[in-house]
Amino acid sequence: MTTQQITTQQMTTQQPFTFFLNQFEARIEGVEPLVRRLSSLRGQFLDQSAFDAILAQGDPMLYKVYAVDRPGVDGELSSGLTILHPGKVGDEYFMTKGHFHAVLETGEVYYCLGGRGMMVMETPEGDWHVAEMTPGAVVYVPPRWAHRSVNVSIAEDLVFFWVYPANAGHDYGAIERQGFRKLIVAQEGAPAIVDNPRWLPPAQR
């Protein structure tokens, strides 16, 4: 075993351990990434015919997630690296699915390592916020805020490290139903924040 391999034992016992984030190759040594493709975001992009047209040619990879998961108990922290590729569906930039944490009262820290992006956030009450993601930006996602990352660069990957409570879990349901309140689209070549017409305020759902 080299010092760069992360083992199952290290990921499940309470012994200290080190893992290596290879910033230049954008991966975590010894971890198999989870791959998310366009088809897993069906219904999330505004332009459904553009979505179908891309899928007719194949199912491109949108992002990869290298997760160093820890046991889902109080006090443990999971962390990892996400690489979100550039691209658009119609005028809308490639993005992650986005989620609330299943344990709503849990936050998360994101540290942007490369690329240019925006993080779209909202609360169950409909408050929203968009934070810029540029190298060096540390975005704090407070408890209760759903979060989605959007790559607004033309050609560069958006690369970010994150840490959150290992027992937080993910709740994708609300976002799958109606998406986020705000969308990020290209307007005259620059990213713009626009209303999502599918989104309804809590009282009208």
String marking each residue 124-143 x if it binds ligand S6P according to CB under 6 A = --------------------
What is the residue type of 102?
A
Among 44, 82, 151, 167, binds ligand S6P (CB under 6 A): 82
Closest approach of Cβ 149 to ligand S6P, in Å?
6
Closest approach of Cβ 147 to Zn ion, in Å?
6
Q: Is 98 in the site for ligand S6P (CB under 6 A)?
A: yes
Separation between Cα atoms, residue 91 and residue 195, nearest integer Å: 14
Closest approach of Cβ 143 to ligand S6P, in Å?
12
Q: Is 70 in the site for ligand S6P (CB under 6 A)?
A: no
Q: Which two tokens stand for residue 197?
A: 């017409």
- Where do contacts with Zn ion occur on this chain (CB under 5 A)? 108
Q: How crowded is residue 107: how many other Cβ atoms within 10 Å of its Cβ?
A: 16
Separation between Cα atoms, residue 136 and residue 24, nearest integer Å: 15
What does 85 interact with, of Zn ion, ligand S6P, none (CB < 5 to 8 A by kind)?
none
Among 100, 164, 180, 199, binds ligand S6P (CB under 6 A): 164
Query: Which stretches within the chain are classed as H helix?
Result: 8-12, 48-56, 173-178
> Please, which residue, 149 or 167, has the CB nearer to ligand S6P?
149
Q: Is 162 in the site for ligand S6P (CB under 6 A)?
A: yes
Among 11, 46, 50, 65, binds ligand S6P (CB under 6 A): 65
Separation between Cα atoms, residue 81 and residue 173, nearest integer Å: 23
Q: Is 151 in the site for ligand S6P (CB under 6 A)?
A: no
- The one segment of 2-10, 68-76, 162-170, 192-200 that binds ligand S6P by CB under 6 A: 162-170
Q: Which residue has the tokens 């959150």?
A: 164
Strand partners, 34: 65
Cα torsion at 134, 145, 89, 138 (round to 10°)? 10
Separation between Cα atoms, residue 178 and residue 196, nearest integer Å: 9
Continuous segment of H or E residues that includes residue 48: helix 48-56
Residues near ligand S6P (CB under 6 A): 36, 65, 80, 82, 96-99, 108, 147, 149, 162, 164, 170
